[in-house]
Structure 1
Amino acid sequence: MVGSLTVPVFAPAQVDPLFGLSLSVLLFLAGAGLIVGEALAPGTHFFVLGVALLTAGLVGLFIPASLGILAPVVLTVVVLATTAVTLWGYRKLDFAAPGRGQTLSSDSLKGQFGVVTERVTESEGQVKLEDGGFNPYYQARSIDGTIEEGEEVLVVDPGGGNVLKVERVAAAGDDIDRALERDRERSTESEKA
């Protein structure tokens, strides 16, 4: 009788594809690298894919070799599902803050537009600024009268950034006036720099 061949069980998650490391370890290291890359270059969205690869690497370490050829399928599903959940959370929590990640100073808030989120009076209220940084919600006070929830406002006095003084946009002028005001502010900022 001629010798019999034995076919080893093939588990791609456990194979040594590169530098003697398993696919799971490579995924884990790639994910960790992307997360570190996000820390070095915030706003580049390396975080989303980094978390997905890191998670897939961790899951891959616990996949039994008996899964064989299904291991890459499981890892692919983990990467896709984790990417979707992380991206949703990243956008939902507004980590990417539209415009810029933080305000430069309280003076940079002057001339900003926002929407009233809690009724604004001369003694209380809250607004969400269009370009208000990481947390765009600010306490606000009306210059005159009451401004109802949902109305658009203009910051007329940043007040040190803690409590903004705002006025109703209708009182501040039309779209052309707002555009002119923005241009004036940009010119002033350019001259200061």
Structure 2
Amino acid sequence: MVESLVGNVPLLLLVVGLVLMVLEAISPGAHLIVIGIALVGAGLIGVLFPSPLSPIILAGLTLLIGLAAAYVYNEFDFYGGKGTARTTDSDSLSGVTGYVTETVTTRTGEVKLDEGGFAPYYSARTTDGTIEEGEEVIVIDPGGGNVLTVESVNAIGEDEIDRALARDEATKGADREAADGGGESIPDPEPETETETENSG
């Protein structure tokens, strides 16, 4: 069997390509599919149309089919969403919201993140207190992705920036009212006419 594969380059390419495609099916995302398709394509053409210049032609075919497969693979992104829904690293979890699936304390708990990737369930801890099941949370420290530090969205109060923005808005509102004359227009008194002044005198 081995001698027939070594002596027959197109058949060898076909077998190696099929093996790589099976490995890709077992472990998706390894990008073996592109090489596998290139080898299977060149191997099939070599088996169906044998040629005396077979190794050189097969090398060129492998390159051309590989480039086409790589283009299709990247263009259609068969593993979903051009990578938008995937978590790239633990730092990208900071600020992500989710909800509590198991009561979170300073020692135990579990949350499900809205943008948590393939496995959105994470162990979680809180800095103080307890966050009950079903409550909405936000990740304040990803902690390397193993154990997240979360805080209840309801517990996050107004911070210094929020207070400064509110003061600024109140100041702008007061300035606008002052510029508009207190917000309400007061009707001008009617000027006295000559007949009224003559009658009074």
TM-score, length-scaled by structure 2: 0.42
Q: Which has the larger radius of gyration?
A: 2
